[in-house]
Amino acid sequence: MASSMGECPVRKMNTGGGGTRNLDWWPNQLKVNILRQHTTVTNPLDAGFDYSEAFKKLDYDAVKADLHKVMTDSKEWWPADFGHYGGLFVRMAWHSSGTYRLFDGRGGGGQGQQRFAPLNSWPDNVSLDKARRLLWPVKQKYGNKISWADLMLLTGNVALESMGVKTEGFAGGRADTFEAEESVYWGAEGTWLGNEDRYSRGNEGVADSGVVDGQQSEKEHKDIHSRDLEKPLAAAHMGLIYVNPEGPDGIPDPVAAGRDIRTTFGRMAMNDYETVALIAGGHAFGKTHGAGPADNVGKEPQDAPLEQQGLGWTNSYKSGKGPDTITSGLEVIWTSTPTKWSNHYLEYMYKYEWELTKSPAGANQWTAKTDDMIIPDAYDSSKKHKPTMLTTDIALRYDKDYDKVSRHFLEHPDELHDAFAKAWFKLLHRDMGPRSRWLGPEIPAEVHIWEDPVPKAEHPTLSESDISSLKKEILDAGVEPTKLIRTAFASASTFRGSDKRGGANGARIRLEPQKDWEINNPSELKEVLGALEKIQQKSGKVSMADLIVLAGTAAVEKAAGVQVPFTGGRTDASQEQTDATTFEHLYPSRDAFRNYGKSTERVKTEQFMIDRAHLLTLTAPEMVVLLGGMRALNANWDGSNVGVLTKNPGKLSNDFFVNLLSTETVWNPKNGDQELFEGVDRQSKKTVWQASRADLIIGAHPELRAVAEIYACDDAKEKFNKDFVKVWHKIMDLDRFDVP
């Protein structure tokens, strides 16, 4: 492990892929790479491999039986605490799903990303390399019929069941990825456990750093009570799932810890009730590991020597495992029955007073002021300990609002059990999208609001002739076709591939909050919906959700002069089926495709465009085609002509590309903010066009320009229309997991 003195830690490899790369030369260049992940060149499975089909062949009961066996089959190379791996596996599943955040739907356990960097090496994931390796024989036995993503979560679920929790059930359906996901913003810090970039300060906060030593702790202390965590982050430090267990920035202040917990758990849409249930339920099991000083622990998996074969954190303290394990550096056992469900966590929390102590590794933790030696040792049955807790645990008592919930659960242990089971199910499944994606025999009957449910189909499938007569009626209704296009796009493009929320199904564009979003142009939306409602009532056979998409489809068809595919079968959700608060996070605060929104201090318009394209699961060529087509169709959110580089707005053509790449136009910024540009004709010196950053990046970025060139060529007119129609249809159907 030790590197020889004076050797540069970065090796200057001189083979393919080595040397200084574009990103090193131009760190601010627009990164298109997140649009080309998880493609056929990274996925080793056969081209037609369909995970849901494979999963259906899985002997589900057999896997569960095998997992039950694994729980107590302690291995010499990584012995099980208390003879049961339950705690470790629950933590593995929780850390897998717990990276989810509500703001962009990214993170979460849906892709099996804990196998890859950075998550495989996050300081908060220490020892989970061992947990996954313990599962390898099971993975190997069942092969492609169960993904790592599903297996890790199912194992956590089975662990709970084996320790006496009646879970709500389990749904499979998370297909694996085979490369590190690059799209998630985990923060800007360059150090593990750093947090220098993620907080802005609240009112009484301290803005200046560089305070002198003596005052530092007092000022910092004030600071941890008032700072604001940067969006979309849901963790207090780089490399943590949520919060620092010792308290904010290591300061053992349970009230401040409560504040951090509320912020971070809130960012995955867990309220106080669910948060207390999750923590009190989770820490009913297992132990923490800090047998000795942290400097015994070697490199994380990503940087560990080859011969360790993907395992990291080699521990040179005594045996390096079992009783000598160092994971978090904390040494806490919460209850007297760490492998059995109980309410002891809360019972002890309130029964005892707590004093600040140090773990053998020197970390801040709390010990009960008592002589009660009631806690078993994980390896020595003759030894007993006093109850211990983390700062973040006792936060559930010392934070006023958590205290109320904790006391309530203390008095109602059965309710804690059910609340835990429910919150756990939500934790594991909330980024899976609609129920139609869920697989397996253990899907609970109860439908949850966070699933964004839509009703079952109430209309028979539309026939071809229904579709064509409806299209005719729509186009004859006297609404400008571009408005129909904008509405259909607005309805469908809320979809995000990250957590599979949003989309046209449900027609939630009629409901709060979407109906009032500025980008949806509420007054225009009202006009369109009003006209479509009349048609719907008259027809009696079609949902509004279908009609909104069909209207856009009819209008695109008319503009393109080619047929546009349409898949019916959507249904209309009610306001009661819609969690308006969490839907607010689907708001496209920037949408390049409709020329909506501008750069911020940190993010340029074109970077927002890539982010949005990624959520829409578009490739770079699809993104370029979509943008060019939307401009030709005159589909800006406000009807402006920015980027509408055509003399025939409303007609689908490749004009946007032809005019953007024309050597006869010179572009100049119009305002100081570099958001709006004017295109001046070289000959006449007249301003002929206006364009946004999103428009001009297509001509400026070499890779996007290369795509634009394809579409601007004389031989591409047909191809462009065909490709636009294809991406349009893709967007309309992004949420149609119900369609085979």
> Closest by alpha carbon to 255, among 219, 217, 220, 224?
224
Indicate whether 282 belongs to the interface with ligand HEB (CB under 6 A).
yes
What is the distance between the alpha carbons of residues 192 and 133, in angstroms, rounded to a whole number? 24
The residue with tokens 């076709």 is: 481
d(CA 266, CA 95): 16
Judged by CB, which is closer to ligand HEB: 423, or 551?
A: 423
Q: Which of 94, 402, 517, 566 forms a contact with ligand HEB (CB under 6 A)?
A: 94
Annotated catalytic residue: which of 84, 95, 283, 614?
95
The single residue among 206, 276, 278, 416 that binds ligand HEB, judged by CB under 6 A, is 278
Q: Does 345 bind ligand HEB (CB under 6 A)?
A: no
**363 contacts ligand HEB (rule: CB under 6 A):** no
Candidates 5-13, 82-90, 146-154, 162-170; binding stretch for ligand HEB (CB under 6 A): 82-90
Q: Of these, 106, 115, 289, 585, which contacts ligand HEB (CB under 6 A)?
A: 289
273 near ligand HEB, rule: CB under 6 A: no
CA distance 597 to 607: 12
Complete DSSP assignment for 685-715? --EEEEEEHHHHHHHHSHHHHHHHHHHHSGG
Distance of alpha carbon 544 from its chain centroid, rounded?
Answer: 29
Q: Does 312 bind ligand HEB (CB under 6 A)?
A: no
- Residue count at the site for ligand HEB (CB under 6 A)? 26
The residue within the footprint of ligand HEB, chosen from 64, 262, 267, 287 (CB under 6 A), is 287
Q: What is the CA radius of gyration of the chain?
A: 28
What's the first-to-final CA gap in the chain, in angstroms? Answer: 51
Q: CB-wise, 326 or 492, nearer to ligand HEB?
A: 326
Q: How far apart are CA 338 and CA 375, in angstroms?
A: 9
Cβ distance to ligand HEB smaller for residue 128 or 635: 128
Q: Nearer to ligand HEB by C-beta: 89 or 677?
A: 89
Rounded CA-CA distance 520/637 in Å is 7
Please pick, from the candidates 64, 91, 422, 736, the single residue that binds ligand HEB as defined by CB under 6 A: 91
Looking at residue 575, the DSSP 8-state letter turns out to be G
The answer to whether residue 701 is catalytic is no
Pick the closer one to ligand HEB by CB: 285 or 352: 285
Backbone angles phi, psi at 478, to 5 degrees: 85, 10
Taking CB under 6 A as the criterion, the residue among 169, 187, 245, 312 binding ligand HEB is 245
Out of 114, 157, 327, 494, point to the residue binding ligand HEB (CB under 6 A).
327
If we measure between CA atoms, which residue out of 98, 104, 128, 124 comes closest to residue 115?
128
d(CA 606, CA 454): 34
For residue 668, which of 687, 683, 645 has the smallest C-alpha distance?
A: 687
Least Å from the CB of residue 399 to ligand HEB: 11
Q: What are the tokens at 224?
A: 């941890």
SS3 364: strand
Minimum CB separation from ligand HEB for residue 417, in Å?
13
By CB under 6 A, is residue 398 in contact with ligand HEB?
no
90 binds ligand HEB (CB under 6 A): yes
Please report how close the Cβ of residue 416 comes to ligand HEB at its closest, in angstroms.
12
242 sits near ligand HEB (criterion: CB under 6 A): yes
Binding to ligand HEB by residue 405, rule CB under 6 A? no
**Residue 122 within binding range of ligand HEB, rule CB under 6 A:** no
- Least CB distance from residue 388 to ligand HEB, whole Å? 11
User: How does DSSP classify residue 491?
Assistant: H
285 touches ligand HEB (CB under 6 A): yes
Is 629 in contact with 652 (CB distance < 8 Å)? yes
User: Identity (one letter) of the amino acid at 239?
Assistant: G
Q: How far apart are CA 689 and CA 694, in angstroms?
A: 14
Residue 292 contacts ligand HEB per CB under 6 A: no
Indicate if the alpha-carbon torsion angle 318, 322, 328, 329 is positive or negative: negative
Closer residue to ligand HEB in complex, CB, 328/665: 328
Q: State the residues that interact with ligand HEB by CB under 6 A.
A: 81, 87-88, 90-91, 94, 127, 242-243, 245, 261, 278-279, 281-283, 285-289, 327-328, 330, 390, 392
- The residues annotated with a catalytic role in the active site are 95
